[in-house]
Amino acid sequence: MAQATGTALVYDEQMSRYKLLWLDPACELEVPERLTVSYEALVQNGLSGRCVSVPVREATDAEILLAHSEEYLEAVKKTPYMSLEDLMTFTQQYGDVYFHPNIYHCAKLAIGAALQLVDNVMTGSVRNGLALVRPPGHHSQHSAANGFCVFNNVAIAAQYAKKYHGVKKVLIVDWDVHHGQGVQYCFEDDPSVLYFSWHRYEHQNFWPNLKESDHDSVGKGKGAGFNVNVPWNQVGMENSDYLAVFFHVLLPVAYEFGPDLVLVCAGFDSAIGDPEGHMCATPDIFAHLTHLLMNLAGGKLCAVLEGGYNLSSLAQSVCQTVLTLLGDPAPRPTELHGPCESALESIHCVRSSHKQYWSCLKHAADMLSYEPSTKHRKVMEGALISQNQDEQGQKTEEGSTTELVFPELLQRVAPAVRTALVLPDAVECTDGCAHFSAKKAPDPLALNRLSMNGKESGDEASLTALANLIPVIEKMEKNEIQNCLALVPDVSTAAATVVQQANTSLTKRVLVVWVGEGPLPTQMMGDEKTLLVHLGSKEQEDLNSKYYVPISLKKGCRDTAGLLQALLGVLLPLGFQFNPSLVLLVRTPGGNVATAVWQQLTCLLQGLAQGRTLVLMQEKETSSISATASCLLGNPAPSLGPLGAPMPDNVEALERLGHRLQAHWKLLQTTAAASRRSAPCGYTPSSRMKPPSV
């Protein structure tokens, strides 16, 4: 089947036609404007026009019964005919939810919107999409409404995808700030649906105050290991905390799982300014979260709106998500200083709880019996504190929350040319790219630049190839070209030239990702403007350099699971924290990396440097041109399928490397302070394997 393209937007303003009809402080945040404001923002930013508009429909009884009981459905069916008084009474049997004569209709449309999205993605008429819906779904349960939710839109969508599209494995990523306990209950013993949720928890002091929202609820029976909870035990979590959880918990597990479809419970109450979440992650983080999920399942991603109660934060976050689904480069993340201590405790705990279920976590540190730094408070005492904190969300006359101060939506301007190809003349072209010959007579200015850099001694062919690269790099700097694939006679010389050229400006930082064996150009062993990460098989000496990171893997790049672990757990955290303005991806001849893994690498690295990626390959590697160009053009990498276990030696080596580097690069941390202090010193692979000598 041809590569699916396009982003669906499933929306109908009908879903804004219900509201709270009585006084209830717990529910007044859930307003119709949440939906209209989100949609208006998409229109204003020209994004709805770039999406494929997909109509909603009402879900059928059979579809609702995929996740709910008949008794509950029959009860909800009566609500359109109830008096106000009866609606209030009906509402009272559930927690933090309200009914309205029109909510049953809207709830059926919300499910139908999610199912329309799944249909369009699964049949390949679009690649991905967002359903903007009300009421939300992830708190609703088999026989209960809860937390503004009536029917479980995403749970039903997952069951539907399995039943009607033959989907074998579904990943549900719940980035809403609340625990989607309804989704957890639905799939607790089901190994075909992996549910991940992070949520404000505060040691059970935050709503819904459940024991089963903690990190040790991992699923039951055959589903053990397929429920991943990351509790936030403090408010104020930032971009670094969210990214650290993706790099060290969600992504390794998700890639090992190998889903056929990704569903996102896309709640934006986890963004800054939200009166429920009290978190500090900025709206642009959703561009990165989205991008990081877009190469799973061959790009089949369906996002469905859940929470989000600060209208301005919500609208910005929705726009960032859709921009990324459409393929626009994500903005550069702002200063990431690494996860906070409380987030590290959570990460440490969840990795430890799951180590027996996932190969990628097999060597994760055990929890120690140290006293946690974030003290466990008594539930009742804490509940009072949470309630008082919530008073700070001030209300305007209309009942919407006043806007807090956070960065404006960063305007993203996509370059006119997405992908430039610099190829030897005889080489076959790939569609959709701009071509730059490597053999045409070079620009004299560029030649002059090269000779100033001491390159005049090289042979004419390689000099010409280099000279033709320079105008492309300049265009990338001017935002006229986003990325480039160049085939050159000698990758080593070309890489050195590019780094030299890029470093001429003071603010430029280059991340060099060197795949395969050397020779590494000696003049680029790394400095504060050049971070060099070398993925290869040669045993490296344990250099203690911050800017030269050799990742040596046994069997080189052929241990797919090991390489993925290196990519997700080391390269991406380093890259995000370094925050380059250009990524230079170099593949040496005979690098021996499988095409599908190379594509994951190429795709994921485009989350950095606003997608400014320059790929250098050896002239003769013409068979990789179309696979590489496809990734640079924004097509998803093909699914790797479920991953096996990485080679134990490689896991050990990565663990050791992480410990060595985490003093410099805090985004590599995966453990809380108490265990981190003891880990790096006296740590050897063999001491890990043997029981401690008493």
**Nearest to ligand Q9C of 176, 188 (CB atom):** 176
CA–CA dist 554, 538 (Å, integer): 8
162, containing H or E segment = helix 153-165
Considering CB distances under 5 to 8 angstroms, the limit depending on partner class, which of ligand Q9C, Zn ion, none binds residue 390?
Answer: ligand Q9C
Tell me the chain's radius of gyration from C-alpha atoms. Answer: 26
CA–CA dist 44, 120 (Å, integer): 25
Query: Smallest gap, in angstroms, from Cβ of residue 197 to Zn ion?
Result: 10
Kindly state whether residue 96 participates in binding ligand Q9C, applying the rule CB under 6 A.
yes
Decide if 557 contacts 513 (C-beta within 8 A): no
Piece of the chain touching ligand Q9C by CB under 6 A; list 142-150, 237-245, 367-375, 450-458: 142-150
Query: Smallest gap, in angstroms, from Cβ of residue 612 to ligand Q9C?
Result: 36
- By CB under 6 A, how many residues form the interface with ligand Q9C? 16
Piece of the chain touching ligand Q9C by CB under 6 A; list 64-72, 78-86, 119-127, 145-153: 145-153
Decide if 117 contacts 6 (C-beta within 8 A): no
Q: For residues 396-435, which are near ligand Q9C according to CB under 6 A? A: none
CA–CA dist 355, 351 (Å, integer): 6
| Tokens 């819904």, located at residue | 208
Taking Cα atoms as reference points, which of 136, 140, 126, 79 lies closest to residue 104?
A: 79
One of 18, 94, 148, 598 touching ligand Q9C (CB under 6 A): 148
Query: Smallest gap, in angstroms, from Cβ of residue 406 to ligand Q9C?
Result: 19
Residue 239 CA: distances (Å) to CA of 110, 144, 279: 30, 34, 10
**Nearest to ligand Q9C of 11, 175 (CB atom):** 175
Please identify the residue of the shown chain whose CB is closest to the bound Zn ion.
307
Q: For residues 202-231, which are near ligand Q9C according to CB under 6 A? A: 207
Piece of the chain touching ligand Q9C by CB under 6 A; list 107-115, 143-151, 421-429, 529-537: 143-151
Considering CB distances under 5 to 8 angstroms, the limit depending on partner class, which of Zn ion, ligand Q9C, none binds residue 136?
Answer: ligand Q9C
Q: Give the Cβ contact number of residue 393 at 10 Å.
A: 17
| Tokens 């929890």, located at residue | 367
Give residues in contact with Zn ion (CB under 5 A): 176, 178, 267, 269, 307
Q: How big is the chain, counted in residues?
A: 694
Considering CB distances under 5 to 8 angstroms, the limit depending on partner class, which of ligand Q9C, Zn ion, none binds residue 139?
Answer: ligand Q9C
CA–CA dist 509, 500 (Å, integer): 11
One of 12, 188, 269, 619 touching ligand Q9C (CB under 6 A): 269
Query: Smallest gap, in angstroms, from Cβ of residue 579 to Zn ion?
Result: 30
Query: Smallest gap, in angstroms, from Cβ of residue 564 to Zn ion?
Result: 31
Kindly state whether residue 24 participates in binding ligand Q9C, applying the rule CB under 6 A.
no
Query: Smallest gap, in angstroms, from Cβ of residue 304 to Zn ion?
Result: 13
CA–CA dist 94, 78 (Å, integer): 16
**Nearest to ligand Q9C of 178, 288 (CB atom):** 178
In sequence order, which ranges of 246-310 are alpha helices (DSSP H)?
251-257, 285-293
Q: For residues 349-368, which are near ligand Q9C according to CB under 6 A? A: none
142 is catalytic: no
**Nearest to Zn ion of 202, 269 (CB atom):** 269
Query: Smallest gap, in angstroms, from Cβ of residue 336 to ligand Q9C?
Result: 26
Cis preceding-peptide flag for 519 (omega within 30 of 0):
yes
Residues facing 302 on adjacent strands: 129, 263
625: left (phi over 0), alpha (psi -120 to 50) or beta: alpha
Decide if 228 contacts 245 (C-beta within 8 A): no
Catalytic residue among 68, 100, 138, 139: 139
Burial class (CB within 10 angstroms; exposed 0-12, middle 13-18, buried 19+) of 42: buried
Q: For residues 162-191, which are near ligand Q9C according to CB under 6 A? A: 176, 178
Query: Smallest gap, in angstroms, from Cβ of residue 96 to ligand Q9C?
Result: 4
Query: Smallest gap, in angstroms, from Cβ of residue 178 to Zn ion?
Result: 4
**Nearest to ligand Q9C of 25, 49 (CB atom):** 25
One of 63, 306, 619, 652 touching ligand Q9C (CB under 6 A): 306
CA–CA dist 148, 98 (Å, integer): 7
Looking at the chain, the number of H-run helices and the number of E-run strands are: 23, 16
Decide if 568 contacts 658 (C-beta within 8 A): no
650: which residues sit within 8 A by CB, 6+ positions away? Answer: 553, 554, 555, 559, 562, 565, 566
Please identify the residue of the shown chain whose CB is closest to the bound ligand Q9C.
307
Decide if 482 contacts 416 (C-beta within 8 A): no
**Nearest to ligand Q9C of 278, 351 (CB atom):** 278
Considering CB distances under 5 to 8 angstroms, the limit depending on partner class, which of ligand Q9C, Zn ion, none binds residue 26?
Answer: ligand Q9C
Burial class (CB within 10 angstroms; exposed 0-12, middle 13-18, buried 19+) of 2: exposed
**Nearest to Zn ion of 307, 536 (CB atom):** 307
**Nearest to Zn ion of 307, 569 (CB atom):** 307
Kindly state whether residue 390 participates in binding ligand Q9C, applying the rule CB under 6 A.
yes
One of 219, 223, 225, 267 touching ligand Q9C (CB under 6 A): 267
What helix, strand, coil percent values describe the chain, rounded to 5?
A: 40, 15, 45
One of 14, 19, 21, 26 touching ligand Q9C (CB under 6 A): 26
Taking Cα atoms as reference points, which of 282, 346, 194 lies closest to residue 670?
A: 346
> Which positions are annotated as active-site residues?
139
Contacts to ligand Q9C by CB under 6 A: 26, 96, 136, 139, 147-149, 176, 178, 207, 267, 269, 276, 306-307, 390
